[in-house]
Amino acid sequence: MTEFTPFQSLLGGALIGLAAVLLMLVHGRVAGLSGIVSGAILGGRGARGWQIAFLSGAVAAPLIAAQLFGATIAFDSPAPLPLLVAGGVLVGIGVTIGNGCSSGHGVCGMARLSRRSIAATLIFMASTGLTLFVIRHIWGLA
């Protein structure tokens, strides 16, 4: 069971929205993490700087916040490592087929009222609900 954290969730959502707006204003780019990661790894010259900075900030910010506020970042998964790797591969395939990830479509695309992003986000959410149901109630893993 997860904790109910409305204030932290609201602040986190606001910060994600602010980061997406600032990235669009400063660089004219959509804050889709799959595109940022692939661009940082495979991208051409010139574009990699902001992508690496964005990803570094995404990793460093929670670590700095944990140090400043004494919070711990706990991660525990009942799923075995091979299942987590398989899930990551499936997400990578889905990101490729869907031309973007949940952050690009869900945060940025829906804010721009993109029909494609709204449809993609609805499919992401339905797939997530179905997957969770199967894993918890049919397979009994979590």
**pLDDT tens digits for 57-110?**
989 988 888 889 887 767 777 778 898 899 889 888 888 888 888 888 888 888
Q: How confident is the model at residue 137 (pLDDT cuts 50, 70, 90)?
A: very high
- The reply to whether the predicted model has a pTM over 0.85 is no
Look-up of token digits 């669009």: 24
Q: Are 23 and 54 in contact (CB under 8 A)?
A: yes
Cα pseudo-dihedral 113, 119, 120, 121, rounded to 10: 70
Q: How far separated are the first and last CA of the chain, in Å rounded? A: 10
